[in-house]
Chains A and B, each alone.
Chain A
Amino acid sequence: MTALLEVEDLRVAYGKVEAVKGISFSVEEGQAVTLIGTNGAGKTTTLHTLSGLLTPSGGRVRFAGQDLAGVPAHKVVALGLAHSPEGRHIFPRLTVEENLLLGAFLRKDADGIADDTERAYTLFPRLRERRIQPAGTLSGGEQQMLAMARALMCRPRLLMLDEPSMGLSPIMMKKIMATVAELKATGTTILLVEQNARAALSLADQAYVMETGRVVLSGSGERLLHDDSVRKAYLGEE
């Protein structure tokens, strides 16, 4: 069986500076896979390349059996690859509901969209309360919920989350990570980038550790949680 997402020797450069130096990993249907690593390791660059915002300088990406080379960003999402970007990037002057509907921009099934909007509000009741508020007036945690809910609105085959807990209070961080776990439990395939390595490894089936553009370690989330070098470098333990 081939994986839903297969990344092979991917390289990405900003001008002459290579930020991703040949990484390989894969995500199987139904799995939660995490990329962890310090700031500047190349995780965001990797996700941007997968969703077509950046063009790779080498390597191959296959998603659902299709080679993504040359597929522009606005067509990647049509294949079922949704991306909740780092820093949330909600549309600040549109309402919460308008933001959600933009997540379903390519869909034509009004009934299905209405169902999924309802589902998003059930998942995040706070968003329902703030339906007609400009998204820019939401708190950081609420914006993160909106970014995730918006990404789900295209009924993705793979949901990519870039640092969903960044800049949140510990309580909000817990809540967001619990939602990620819930999504996984209900069958959503997830590629999660996190600096909160403990939370990410706890829920991941498979994990990859990145350092300066390379994958330096990989294994099941469980195994890496107990790996000595990971515990020292990323979990703050002696």
Chain B
Amino acid sequence: MTFTDFLQLLTDGLVLGSMYGLIAVGYTMVYGILQIINFAHGEIFMLGGFGALFAYAWVPALHEISLWAALPVMLVVGVLVSVTAAVAAERFTYRPLRNAPRLAPLITAIGLSLFLQQVVFNFFTLPGESMGITAPVPFPQLDGGPLRLGGVTVSYAAILTLVVAAGAMTGLTYFVGRTRTGRAMQATAQDPKTARLMGIDTDRVIVVAFAVGAVLAAVACLTQGLRLGSISYNMGFIAGLKGFTAAVLGGIGNIRGAMLGGVVLGVAESLASGLLPHLPSLQMFGGSVWKDVWAFVILIVVLLIRPQGLLGERIADRA
């Protein structure tokens, strides 16, 4: 293990973590306003990838041009699919349960997850193939070999992930902090009844929170498809779990915390699975088999030390 190897692990972790952060924002925004965990968010993520792939597969014109040029079209379709699903989920499953006991929306979310997975599993169709999918579906790949920066290798897809995540976070910060709707969102998160007294339509704010989370999730799934070369109907499970972990790690309800939690999680995961094989007594814990375990080890450790998460406030501080 050289220093360059270490930098490589760090870079990979940063890329992975940016993607986790994009997913985490969706959990945290909805939680911040409604205090519910939208466990179907992993499937909203997955639908973004399938939406993008569907557009690519069924529009032959997109095969004639470079994938870079096709990406915006794929992104728009993926985002539309995710947002539609998220807004429909809010309208038809969460809103009717707004005043139900906490467990009801949670169980509903799990049911919704399975439903959305099965919809894709049974009905997603590629040209010339029968309806439904069984295995992971190949995702188009960007041309051009990986870049070498120093000794570190980075794919174009990885660079795209970093750029997109940075752009999305900048846009989101501006949106929440500077726009009228963003201010309405903060007010609704802090005190929903009083927000209504100000003239804020809080139902609309809730829809916007679901939609914004879905946009970022769709973006995240597109980058994962580009990086890993395939997507599958059940990819939302692990991705959702990681995004949720990142959100809790950063302090659920806190948007910057979600991104930070994602990065910390991604880097820790990458370092743990890359470094441990080189430590004599711990090598059995290294590698990809244990990769997903580290996320939760880190979560438990952080929550033991800082129950409110990295950037979260203690519940007592909340009005």
Contact = CB atoms under 8 A, between A and B. Distances in A.
B197 A85 contact: yes
Contacts of B198: 74, 77, 102-103, 105-106, 150
Query: What is the predominant secondary structure among interface residues of chain B facing chain A?
Result: helix
Interface stretch (A28-36, A56-64, A90-98, A125-133): A90-98
B69 to A, nearest CB: 40
A83 B190 contact: no
A92 B319 contact: yes
B169 to A, nearest CB: 20
Interface in A60-115: 72-75, 77-78, 82-83, 85, 89, 91-94, 98, 101-103, 105-106
A92 B190 CA distance: 7
A186 B229 CA distance: 70
A92 B196 CA distance: 16
A73 B183 contact: no
A83 to B, nearest CB: 5
A99 to B, nearest CB: 9
B5 interface: no
B143 interface: no
A93 B202 CA distance: 18
B186 A91 contact: yes
A26 interface: no
Contacts of B191: 89, 91
Given A102-B183, A105-B184, A74 B202 contact: yes
Interface residues of A, number: 26
Contacts of A91: 186-187, 190-191, 194, 319
B200 interface: yes
Nearest to B197: A83
A51 B191 CA distance: 16
Contact of A154 (B190, B199, B202): B199
A233 interface: no
Contacts of B186: 91, 93-94
Contacts of A85: 193-194, 197
Nearest to B188: A91
B319 A74 contact: no
B197 A53 contact: yes
B292 interface: no
Query: Which of B183, B195, B196 has its CB near the most chain A CB atoms (within 10 A)?
Result: B196
Given A72-B201, A94-B187, A105-B183, 5 more contacts: A73-B193, A74-B202, A93-B186, A93-B190, A106-B199
Interface of A: 51-53, 72-75, 77-78, 82-83, 85, 89, 91-94, 98, 101-103, 105-106, 136, 150, 154
27 contacts: A72-B201, A73-B193, A73-B196, A74-B196, A74-B198, A74-B200, A74-B202, A77-B197, A77-B199, A82-B197, A83-B197, A85-B194, A89-B191, A89-B319, A91-B187, A91-B319, A92-B318, A93-B190, A94-B186, A94-B187, A94-B190, A98-B183, A102-B187, A102-B198, A103-B198, A136-B319, A154-B199
